[in-house]
Structure 1
Amino acid sequence: MPSMTLRVLLPFEVFAHEQGVTSIVVETAQGSFGLLPQRLDCVAALVPGILSFETASQGEVFLAVDEGVLVKTGPSVVISARRALRGDDLSRLRDAVEQEFLTLDAQEEAMRTEMARLETGFMRRFVSMRDGPS
């Protein structure tokens, strides 16, 4: 039976390297996306959610994955994400996605908004200094 190799890469480590993967299901902005070994090569943008994959030895395995990118080339599937968690309890993983990943995204958005406000204020002061009395 054909199988795939799955690697989940985080910014500073290889989170998972699985051989003999028979199917993968990920979440995208358009909904769930399934991969089988014979599927054509593809690229998909991932949203925070639950990734599941199946192997003969482990059965179905669940990972909570933050936003990232999936690239399938031949039998190799590489997922690059900012954060990931592994767990057996699906409801706890779903809670982790909602609490950790989405909360951090909201905090990052608030930080970006504040930085934009500070940059705008700096630019206003800079322009007023330049246009001031000569």
Structure 2
Amino acid sequence: MSMADQMQVYVRLPARILFEGPATRLVATAANGSFGILPNHIDFVTALVPSVLLVTPLDAPEQVFGIDEGLLLKKGHTVEIAVRRGVHGADLESLRETVGERFAGMEDEERASRAALSRLEADMVRRFATLRRPHHEQ
């Protein structure tokens, strides 16, 4: 692998790309702690935990992201990050507020979805139970 002064970074959500561009440095957090990646870092894969992700673009100020759990893959001069949820913040203070608002709303939606799914499953079980009964009991 050739020496490089930048790497291509992609931060992907399930439905869209949160960040894409050349970067000179990245700081992320795995279960065993925070780590940094420079363009010539060794290739690896790791699971990310909910945390702050810092990306230093080539010619721009450091970008701050609040991320949920996900995966990071470093291969060559490309870093691919896939997370369930993530938000961009102007700085750490605004990020704290944004994460609190967005993730709390998402958790409420997930709870409502799980409740609806549970009701649907219970209804299916009741319907299957009536199919198994002999006709004279119905």
Asked if these proteins are the same fold (TM beyond 0.5), I'd say yes
Report how many aligned residue pairs link the two structures: 133
In the alignment, which residue of structure 1 is the partner of 2:17?
14
Over 6 Å off, 4+ runs? none
User: Structure 1 residue 8: deviation in Å?
Assistant: 1.9
Question: Is 1:99 matched up with 2:112?
Answer: no
In the alignment, which residue of structure 2 is the partner of 1:4?
7
User: Structure 1 residue 72: deviation in Å?
Assistant: 0.9
Please tell me the root mean square deviation across aligned C-alpha atoms, in Å. Answer: 2.7
In the alignment, which residue of structure 1 is the partner of 2:41?
39
Q: Cα deviation per residue 1:75-121 (whole Å; 9 max; x = unaligned)?
A: 10012234433222211212222331254135314422441243034
Change (3 A) 1:48 1:110: farther
- Name stretches of at least 5 consecutive residues in structure 2 with no aligned partner: none
Distance in 2 (CA, whole Å) between partners of 1:24 and 1:73 is: 14
In the alignment, which residue of structure 2 is the partner of 1:53?
55
User: Larger Rg: 1 or 2?
Assistant: 2
Identical-residue share of aligned pairs (%): 36
Distance in 2 (CA, whole Å) between partners of 1:75 and 1:121 is: 51
Secondary structure at the counterpart of residue 2 of structure 1: coil
- Aligned residues of 1:66 and 1:97 also touching (Cα < 8 A): no
Amino acid at match of 1:63: F
Change (3 A) 1:13 1:125: closer
Secondary structure at the counterpart of residue 77 of structure 1: strand
> TM-score scaled by structure 1?
0.75
- Name stretches of at least 5 consecutive residues in structure 1 with no aligned partner: none
* Range 45-54 or range 68-77, more displaced: 45-54
Secondary structure at the counterpart of residue 42 of structure 2: coil
